[in-house]
């Protein structure tokens, strides 16, 4: 909603930009990580940015991962209160507990959670969006102008770049931790395909959200509003699936935080992962909408250094080889 839908038809150009970048960067990060056989993102940052800026990005990433975990807890609270009419605190407790349990199971359980939850998440998002588009009976939304006073960054291009920038911190943290355990061809193909699928999901949500303006913009989680508009059964069933999307992101943030501080895994990895859940709890008291609107663009600007470096590093390497 904040990064694409409220920018009107320009938001669709932002989606195209984000999709291209996600796909390219996903394959690139996997290629570098596997070639370097990284166990965490610290070595990757040092290679990309040098020692000084690598340390700076390292610290920023820890902050972003911890903040992102807190935002997901607030998102879980919003789902429980808006969709299920449960106390918001129960949403925070359950997602913190489940994330901790997955982390306590180590990297294998984290990977197993991704394998099960991520395809389910993509399928749920696609189904909700397509059903909502069909129910709306028209496609006038994409041709609407940008909403007055809406959308972060002021224009679709910068909004798209910021979306990729803050969203790349978690994938870099997760993908770089797999550099020792994934074959090269499979890893690169997975990174590219993952970016394309993510872009497709963003496109479907953007189109569906535009079709339900301005009502959808008044909800903390607009996709939940779309699910609710399809009927009570959809509101509960699909609401649960959307909540699983929040859970996978929470797990990714906690895993990225823990794998950075304990790249060899073991007991330390589990302690840091559970500790991250506890440290992120205060953020869950804030409004999900407020956190997304103000914290995520801040994360985007903080991650811009990493984004620019990822885009320029291959060009530098190529030019050196040409010489």
Q: Per-residue pLDDT tens for 150-190?
A: 666 678 888 898 889 878 877 887 788 777 778 888 888 98
- pLDDT category of residue 323 using cuts at 50, 70 and 90: very low
Joined together, the tokens standing for residue 20 give 């291209």
Greater pLDDT, 218 or 36: 36
Give me the DSSP letters along 2-70. Answer: TTTGGGTTHHHHHHHHHHHHHHHHHHHHHHHHHHHT-SSHHHHHHHHHHHHHHHHHHHHHHHHHHHHHH
What percentage of the chain reaches a pLDDT higher than 90? Answer: 14
Model pLDDT, residue 151: 66
Q: Mean pLDDT across the stretch 217-245?
A: 75
Task: Give 293-296 contacts, CB < 8 A, sequence gap 24+.
Answer: 293/2, 293/152, 295/67, 295/71, 296/2, 296/71, 296/152, 296/162, 296/166
Residue length, the chain? 323
- Tens of pLDDT, residue by residue over 255-267, are 888 888 887 778 8
Q: Could you tell me which CATH number the domain at 5-322 has?
A: 1.10.4160.10
pLDDT at 97 over 50: yes
> 227: which 2 tokens?
């699910």
Mean pLDDT of the chain: 82
Residue 322 has a pLDDT of 43
Lowest pLDDT segment from 88-92, 270-274, 296-300: 296-300
Q: Tell me what the mean pLDDT of segment 35-41 comes to.
A: 80
Closest CA to 132 of 78, 204, 201: 204
CB neighbour class for 265 (10 Å; exposed up to 12, middle 13-18, buried from 19): middle
Q: Say whether pLDDT at 237 is over 90.
A: no
With tokens 């509960």, the residue in question is: 236
The whole-angstrom separation of Cα 266 and Cα 276 is 16
pLDDT of residue 317: 59
CA neighbor of 198 nearest in space, from 26, 2, 69: 26
Dihedral sign (CA 10, 204, 244, 112): negative
Q: Is the pLDDT of residue 108 over 60?
A: yes
* pLDDT band at residue 148 using 50, 70 and 90 as cut-offs: low
pLDDT digits (tens, 9 = 90+) for 280-322: 988 888 878 778 777 777 777 877 888 888 888 777 655 545 4
């Amino acid at each position: 909603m904040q990064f694409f839908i409220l920018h009107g038809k320009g938001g669709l150009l932002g989606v195209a930009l984000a999709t291209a970048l996600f796909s390219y960067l996903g394959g690139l990060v996997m290629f570098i990580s596997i070639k370097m056989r990284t166990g965490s993102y610290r070595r990757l940052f040092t290679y990309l940015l040098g020692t000084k800026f690598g340390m700076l990005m390292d610290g920023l990433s820890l902050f972003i991962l911890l903040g992102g975990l807190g935002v997901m807890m607030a998102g879980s609270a919003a789902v429980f209160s808006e969709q299920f009419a449960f106390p918001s605190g129960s949403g925070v407790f359950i997602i913190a507990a489940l994330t901790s349990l997955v982390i306590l199971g180590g990297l294998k359980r984290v990977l197993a959670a991704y394998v099960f939850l991520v395809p389910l998440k993509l399928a749920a998002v696609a189904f909700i969006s397509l059903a909502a588009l069909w129910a709306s009976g028209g496609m006038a939304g994409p041709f609407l102008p940008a909403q007055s006073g809406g959308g972060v960054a002021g224009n679709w291009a910068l909004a798209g770049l910021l979306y990729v920038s803050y969203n790349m911190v978690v994938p870099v943290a997760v993908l770089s931790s797999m550099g020792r355990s994934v074959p090269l061809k499979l890893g690169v193909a997975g990174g590219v395909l993952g970016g394309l699928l993510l872009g497709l999901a963003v496109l479907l949500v953007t189109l569906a959200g535009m079709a339900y303006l301005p009502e959808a913009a008044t909800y903390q989680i607009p996709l939940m509003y779309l699910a609710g508009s399809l009927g009570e059964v959809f509101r509960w069933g699909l609401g649960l699936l959307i909540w699983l999307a929040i859970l996978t992101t929470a797990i990714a943030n906690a895993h990225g935080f823990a794998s950075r501080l304990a790249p060899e895994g073991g007991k330390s990895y589990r302690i840091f992962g559970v500790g991250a859940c506890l440290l992120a709890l205060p953020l869950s008291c804030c409004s999900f909408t407020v956190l997304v609107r103000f914290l995520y663009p801040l994360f985007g600007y903080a991650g811009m250094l990493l984004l620019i470096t990822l885009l320029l590093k291959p060009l530098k390497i190529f030019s050196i080889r040409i010489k």
